[in-house]
C-alpha cells in the first residue's frame, strides 16, 4: 500500500490532535495546505510560532490577553466587587456577548473531577481567595457547565464563598443537565445571567 510522504503524514498527525478532527479531515487539511502559496504558509506558521509569546494568560484573572493588557482587569469601568467564575478563558467571550455582565472574571482552569483526577489544588482557587479580599468582592456568579463536574465545582465554591460571607449565585440555566456553556446561545445565556439565583 502506498504511504503518504513522511512530512505530510507528520502534518496529518498534528491536525488529528485538534478537537473533532479525524483521519479523513486531517488528510483534507494537509492536502489543502499543499495548494497554499509560500506566503500564505509563512503567515500561517508565523502565527503558530508566536502564539504563546503574544497571547498570554492574565496573572490576576487567568483570562487570555494580547501581550500584557488584560481586557478585563485593566478596564477601570468594570465593577470589581462582582466576580464571575468560569472554567475556561473562552467562556468569558460567550458571557461578554450577552452585554449583561459588567464585573470581572476568574478562570478556574477546569472543573473538579475525581475521575479525571482534577482536584481543588489544580484549579486557580488560591488566586481566587486572594482576589476576593483584595477586590472586596460582594457577589460571585458561578458560571459553570450544568454537568456533574460543574455541579461539584459549584458546590465546592459555594462553601468557600459563604464561609467568607460572600453572596454566591449560579446561572439560572433553563437548560437540560449536561449542557456546556460553550454551546449555549447568547439569548439563553443572557437570561441565565439575569435570572441567576443565590444558592
Ligand atoms: Zn485579567
* Ligand 1 centroid from CA 68, angstroms: 10
**Ligand 1 centroid from CA 51, angstroms:** 18
Contacts 24+ apart (CB under 8 A), 131-136: 131/60, 131/61, 131/83, 131/106, 132/83, 132/161, 132/164, 132/166, 135/80, 135/81, 135/83, 135/104, 136/80, 136/81
Distance 75 CA to ligand 1 centre (A): 9
Residues in the chain with pLDDT values less than 50:
none
pLDDT on residue 156: 95
Q: Measured at the alpha carbon of residue 98, what is the angle toward residues 68 and 191, in degrees to the nearest 5?
A: 140
Query: DSSP string covering 115-184, please?
Result: TTTB-GGGSTHHHHHHHHHHTT--EEEE---BSHHHHHHHHHHHHHHHTTT-EEEE----S-TTB-GGG-
Q: What is the pLDDT of residue 63?
A: 98
The predicted pLDDT at position 107 comes to 98
CA of 94 to the centre of ligand 1 (A): 16
Q: Kindly give the pairing relationship between strand 167-170 and strand 197-198.
A: antiparallel
User: How many angstroms is it from 196 CA to the middle of ligand 1?
Assistant: 23
* Alpha carbon distance 90, 43 (integer Å): 24
Q: Output the CA 95–ligand 1 centroid distance in Å.
A: 15
Amino acid at each position: 500500500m502506498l504511504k503518504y510522504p513522511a512530512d505530510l503524514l507528520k502534518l496529518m498527525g498534528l491536525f488529528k490532535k485538534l478537537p473533532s478532527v479525524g483521519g479523513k479531515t486531517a488528510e483534507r487539511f494537509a492536502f489543502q495546505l499543499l495548494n497554499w502559496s509560500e506566503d500564505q504558509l509563512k503567515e500561517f506558521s508565523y502565527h503558530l510560532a508566536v502564539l504563546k509569546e503574544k497571547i498570554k494568560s492574565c496573572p490576576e484573572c487567568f483570562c487570555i490577553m494580547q501581550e500584557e493588557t488584560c481586557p478585563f482587569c485593566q478596564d477601570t469601568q468594570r465593577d470589581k466587587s462582582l466576580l464571575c467564575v468560569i472554567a475556561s478563558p473562552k467562556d468569558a467571550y460567550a458571557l461578554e456577548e450577552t452585554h449583561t455582565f459588567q464585573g470581572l472574571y476568574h478562570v478556574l482552569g477546569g472543573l473538579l473531577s475525581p475521575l479525571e483526577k482534577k482536584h481543588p489544588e489544580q484549579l486557580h482557587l488560591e488566586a481566587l481567595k486572594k482576589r476576593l479580599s483584595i477586590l472586596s468582592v460582594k457577589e460571585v456568579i458561578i458560571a459553570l457547565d450544568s454537568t456533574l463536574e460543574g455541579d461539584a465545582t459549584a458546590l465546592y465554591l459555594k462553601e468557600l464563598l459563604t464561609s467568607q460571607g460572600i453572596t454566591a449565585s449560579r446561572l439560572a440555566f433553563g437548560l437540560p443537565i449536561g449542557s456546556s456553556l460553550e454551546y449555549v446561545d447568547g439569548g439563553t445565556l443572557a437570561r441565565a445571567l439575569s435570572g441567576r439565583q443565590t444558592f
